[in-house]
A and B are shown apart, each in its own frame.
Chain A
Amino acid sequence: MNEKRKVLIKVRNVNKSFGGVVAVDNLSFELLEGEVLGVIGPNGSGKTTIVNIITGFLKPDSGEVFFMDKRLTGLSPFKVAELGVTRTFQIVRPYPSMKAYKNLIVPLWSQRARRFAGSRGGDRDAVAIDLLEEVGFERDAFVPYKLASALPLGYLKRLELARCLALRPEVIICDEVFSGLSMSEIASMLPLVEKLRMKGATLIMVEHRLRELFSVANRLLVMNFGVKIAEGEPEQVMEDERVRRAYLGEEISF
């Protein structure tokens, strides 16, 4: 492993509670450039909360989040996205009344996307359709031209990813892109994540499906009740006794 990789995201002593429930408890971690960090944990362990805190959708009670040297805490979500820290939503958020490719006009219209637009900046429709093809929308089957409300979940998850890609992101935070998908949909989604990784994208994958995460993540961070219980290479993390107990139960079977 390269020793001198740049730290892109630094989460430092973040706390967040909702009423009496502690969602995130003094969490710290770092994300290095070009790595795929898997965040796993049982339901309610604070995975989505930490995504919301990094991307500005929630304010932490205490603690800070940095992107390179910029402080993200306190910034509005759109500012965070403008810096290149993008996210997908676990519960997909398409614009149902628009066609799939028109959904991407919104991010392509943003300041950030326009900075990167270059010579084809004026033709956002064409860029949008190219982006959709990149995430696996079949151009020939006219899938990009269907209304978003008519698309199955598998495509909506891809649309979420395409929305991030439209912004030429520095970091993509995927909030459970595999959840709710059938086995065959997952099988076709995995190469996509793999492709992103090969291109050198920096990803945080929040999941509770272990098998998929194992094949793509360089490093895992395991959470339980808002506390980080383990961090490290996948094999090494799975050896950890606490992880087995918290996440897999007493008996393990793969």
Chain B
Amino acid sequence: MAGEERRKERLDRGIKARAESLYAVSSWREASYLLAPRAGLIIGLLIAPLLAPSLYWQRVIGLAGVYALLALSFDFLAERVGLVCIGGAFMIGVGGYISGGLNYYFGLPVVLTIPIGTFGGAIICTLVWLPCLPLRGIYFAVVTFMFPFLAVSVILAGGLFGGTEGLSPVAGLPNWVGIYLILTLVLVAIFGVRRLCGEDIGLVFQGIKDNDQAVLASAVNITRVKIYALFVATSIGCFAGAFVSHFFGFAGLSLFAIDFTIMPIAASIMGGPATLAGPAVGAFILAPLSELLRGFGQLRVVFYCVVLVGFILFKPEGLLNWASRRYHQFEHWVKV
């Protein structure tokens, strides 16, 4: 027979006051308690490239930043707006081809091509996905998933933009500029999207996810709100694409690679869905891990699957949700 029964008791730290975002801060200690995780994220990301042992690992951190932006974009759309958009590769491709193409054909400088690639790409992605916006859940996912394949076929069949060869060379970015550009943008995107979700329009996004019929009955044009959300998310993805083309000095069919679609989803599940920062952090863990396993070649896909299935089975809340619970609550065992 087992001894006495025990259960885990969880107590909130006393700092929380009434509303989710409202804290009663009365000392430096409490202020630092709130600031520490945010500062940890900022400082951690900014010093990571300095700690990287070689140029190779610095490039990996840059690429992880790309995945982080895609994961953030995916998480924002899927968990905060209810649009499961798995067209990450399409955003990368469109942003990359616009930005790379402008540089390759017209010789525009990087300071111009990246913003044009970001917003031009976002407009294109939003426009082509616009007709699918009334679709919900899995149907929207399936349609968006098809677009990278569609784009590859069009480019191959039409022999556009250099066909299979791609566009090369595209003006590169100096290594450190590139790395800090992407890391800064990751931080700006994380805090920016979190702020956006905290605003009133963020509640409307959440409302659409929770119950779109009720939002319609509230006299809100949900298509317009969804377009706005889609534009924000695709801007993030297309920036990542424009960055990739300059970071690697190349715009080709590999921009539409399935990795750009799958990896952010795995990172999002691992990092903690709906936390926004979690998926980005997940990408910074998953991308280097996957590089470590490069020796296994195609078997890396197995690794993604194991991570996905493992987290879904054993830690469905994801890393960040788990960590923030441990951070905000005391846990101890009590006798029943």
Contact = CB atoms under 8 A, between A and B. Distances in A.
Are A and B physically bound partners? yes
Given A95-B211, A145-B18, A78 B206 contact: no
A112 interface: yes
A163 B214 CA distance: 9
Contacts of B213: 57, 77, 89, 93
A254 B317 CA distance: 54
B207 interface: yes
B210 A98 contact: yes
Interface residues of B, number: 21
Nearest to B207: A106
Given A93-B214, A163-B214, A102 B203 contact: yes
Nearest to A77: B216
B11 interface: no
Contacts of A167: 218-219
Contacts of A103: 207
Interface in A67-90: 76-78, 81-82, 86-87, 89
B213 to A, nearest CB: 6
Given A106-B204, A110-B218, A93 B211 contact: yes
A94 interface: yes
A111 interface: yes
A247 interface: no
B216 A107 contact: no
A172 B18 CA distance: 32
Interface centre among A57, A93, A94, A108 (most CB of B within 10 A): A93
A66 interface: no
B234 to A, nearest CB: 23
B18 A106 contact: no
A55 B206 contact: no
A98 B206 contact: yes
Nearest to B205: A106
Contacts of B201: 109
Contact of A81 (B20, B203, B211, B218): B218
Interface string A108-132: 1111110000000000100000000
B214 A81 contact: no
A166 B206 CA distance: 18
A89 B210 contact: no
Contact of B219 (A93, A98, A112): A112
Interface centre among A76, A106, A108 (most CB of B within 10 A): A106
Contacts of A55: 217
Contacts of B216: 57, 76-78, 81
Nearest to B202: A105
A110 B210 contact: no
A103 B201 CA distance: 12
Contact of A106 (B19, B20, B215): B215
Interface in B271-304: none
A62 interface: no
Interface in B1-54: 18-20
A95 B206 contact: yes
B4 to A, nearest CB: 31
Interface in B156-212: 200-201, 203-204, 206-207, 210-211
B219 A96 contact: no
Contacts of B215: 78, 106
A97 interface: yes
B221 A105 contact: no
B130 to A, nearest CB: 16
Given A89-B213, A93-B211, A93-B213, A110 B203 contact: no
Contact of A78 (B200, B203, B211, B221): B221
B91 interface: no
A108 B204 CA distance: 10
11 contacts: A76-B216, A78-B221, A89-B213, A89-B214, A94-B214, A99-B19, A106-B215, A110-B220, A112-B219, A145-B18, A163-B217
Interface of B: 18-20, 200-201, 203-204, 206-207, 210-211, 213-222
Interface of A: 55, 57, 76-78, 81-82, 86-87, 89, 93-99, 102-103, 105-113, 124, 142, 145, 163, 166-167
Closest 6 CB pairs of A and B: A81-B219, A107-B218, A95-B210, A93-B214, A110-B219, A77-B216
